């Protein structure tokens, strides 16, 4: 069967401009393959606006979503949120974990970009108005890198199932890998049952957990993260556009993923970087593509307007000179191992406190972590950084150590 080429770009631009009415059709294209029937869905009622918790004195915006969250990428600090730990259906946001596992397997060498993945009867996507597909032909093969693009850009259920079977033998086996990785990342309110996000009563994720996952993708998959900003991908002569409308209207947005099912509503996880500060947003269960885009714009705009980067300590500063027992030197300079910044509400003062590891003894290697510095703003911790030894301290000879032991016994 041959398919005609089509593009989502006009649709995405219309979504971004507010020209499209809400729709539950998840296969977002201007012209569907002949075997796909698209149905007009009834309008959905928007959730009541939910105000969030934040350290900003004027408060956070109220957004019409069941849960939402704003996170600082650098520190992982949650800057504002509403119902951040409520497990909700994540729909195709699930595929962020699917793509992350593929990316990590590529990084480790377990997968190769040009490795071929077979499309089984189970993975094959027949096409419907409620399922997004890459349109991999039945019993065909596709490269891992094409599969990855099909998951991220086209949100292909077929691509997700095919790679799950390729990596773990079955989608059920792959779900176990997903849950193990979620546990490793600290996603404590998430449980995956499949690689796609198709409805299952036990398939849930929280806004906080999805932000943690997005942060891991940006941090650990830098080679593949640019794919999340690609606006379209053509496979099997079918061109489909990225459903993240903000990629077409905001040059600071470079990812990550959209999702929609009837149970999950319209969802969006986004990352934006402006003036050296990157923020991650999560919107869960709102009532339209337009709403998830608008609410994300609102949250990003509010975040960048109300928070700023602060440098509590300069990278070259000596923060402390703790005592070292049984060394050729009595003390060692402690400082930062790398430049450090924190994100705080605009205009708030940042204070720091130093914690040195107790009973510091030689030998101490240059660069060894010997403590930490904690930053506080308005009485609340906003970040911490390790303190490292700025010089090596060799262990003293046995005669000197005996004398140092005697002095220590007498408290000197």
DSSP per-residue letters across 355-401:
EEPSS-BS-B-TT-EEEEEEEEETTEEEEEEEEEESS-BPBPPHHHH
Among residues 26, 75, 81, 92, the one annotated as catalytic is 92
**How is residue 49 annotated by DSSP?**
P
| CA neighbor of 147 nearest in space, from 117, 111, 178 | 117
Question: Helices H, strands E: what count in the chain?
Answer: 8, 19
**Which residue is it, tokens 């947005």?**
253
Question: Measured between alpha carbons, how far is 99 from 220 in angstroms, rounded to an integer?
Answer: 12
155 counts as catalytic? yes
Compute the C-alpha angle 198/160/253, nearest 5°: 90
Q: How far from the centroid of its chain's Cα atoms is residue 341's Cα?
A: 20
Give the whole-angstrom CA distance, residue 9 versus residue 179: 35
Residue from 23, 66, 95, 272 carrying the catalytic annotation? 95
325 catalytic residue (yes or no)? no
Q: Which two tokens stand for residue 390?
A: 């700025």
Alpha helices in 227-333 (DSSP H): 289-306
**Alpha-carbon dihedral 243, 79, 100, 153, rounded to 10 degrees:** 10
Tokens of 241: 């556009």
User: Which residue is it, tokens 């993240």?
Assistant: 244
> Among 277, 278, 274, 281, which residue's Cα sits nearest to residue 296?
281
23 part of the active site: no
- Token pair for 136: 């991999």
Whether 285 contacts 88, CB under 8 Å:
yes
Gap between the terminal Cα atoms of the chain: 87
The Cα 312–Cα 375 span in angstroms is: 7
**Whole-angstrom Cα distance, residue 384 to residue 401?**
34
HSE toward the beta carbon, residue 316, CA cutoff 13 A: 0
- The length of the chain is 412
Maximal C-alpha separation, the chain = 90
Given 23, 81, 99, 155, the catalytic residue: 155
Cβ neighbours around 124 below 10 Å, total = 19
* Residues assigned a catalytic role: 92, 95, 155
């Amino acid at each position: 069967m041959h398919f005609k080429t089509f593009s989502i770009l006009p649709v995405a631009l219309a979504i971004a401009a507010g020209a499209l009415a809400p729709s539950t059709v998840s296969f977002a294209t201007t012209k569907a393959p002949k075997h796909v029937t698209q149905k007009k869905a009834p309008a959905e009622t928007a959730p009541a606006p939910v105000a969030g918790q934040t350290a900003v004195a004027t408060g956070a915006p109220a957004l019409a979503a069941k849960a939402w969250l704003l996170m600082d990428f650098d520190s992982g600090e949650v800057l504002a949120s509403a119902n951040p730990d409520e497990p909700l259906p994540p729909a195709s946001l699930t595929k962020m974990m699917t793509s992350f596992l593929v990316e990590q397997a590529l990084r480790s060498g377990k997968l190769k970009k040009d490795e071929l993945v077979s499309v089984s009867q189970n993975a094959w996507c027949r096409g419907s108005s409620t399922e997004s597909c890459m349109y991999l032909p039945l019993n065909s093969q596709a490269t891992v890198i094409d599969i990855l693009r099909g998951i991220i850009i086209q949100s292909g259920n077929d691509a997700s199932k095919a790679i799950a079977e390729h990596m773990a033998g079955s989608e059920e086996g792959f779900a176990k890998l997903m849950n193990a990785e979620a546990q490793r990342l600290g996603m404590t309110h998430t449980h995956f049952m499949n690689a796609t996000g198709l409805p299952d009563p036990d398939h849930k994720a929280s806004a906080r957990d999805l932000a943690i996952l997005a942060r891991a993708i940006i941090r650990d998959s830098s080679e593949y993260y640019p794919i999340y900003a690609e606006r379209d991908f053509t496979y099997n002569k079918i061109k489909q556009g990225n459903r993240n409308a903000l990629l077409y209207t905001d040059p600071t947005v470079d990812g990550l993923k959209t999702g929609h099912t009837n149970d999950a509503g319209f969802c969006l996880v986004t990352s934006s970087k402006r003036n050296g500060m990157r923020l991650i947003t999560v919107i869960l269960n709102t009532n339209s593509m337009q709403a998830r885009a608008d609410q994300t714009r609102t949250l990003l705009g509010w975040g960048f307007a109300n928070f700023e980067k602060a440098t509590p300590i300069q990278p070259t500063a000596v923060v402390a000179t703790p005592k070292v027992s049984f060394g050729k030197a009595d003390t060692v300079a402690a400082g930062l191992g790398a430049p450090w910044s924190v994100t705080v509400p605009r205009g708030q003062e940042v204070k720091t406190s130093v914690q040195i590891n107790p009973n510091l003894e030689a030998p101490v290697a240059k660069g060894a972590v010997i403590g930490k510095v904690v930053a506080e703003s308005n009485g609340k911790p906003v970040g911490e950084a390790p303190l490292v030894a700025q010089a090596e301290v060799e262990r003293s000879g046995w005669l000197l150590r005996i004398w140092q032991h005697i002095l220590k016994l007498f408290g000197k």
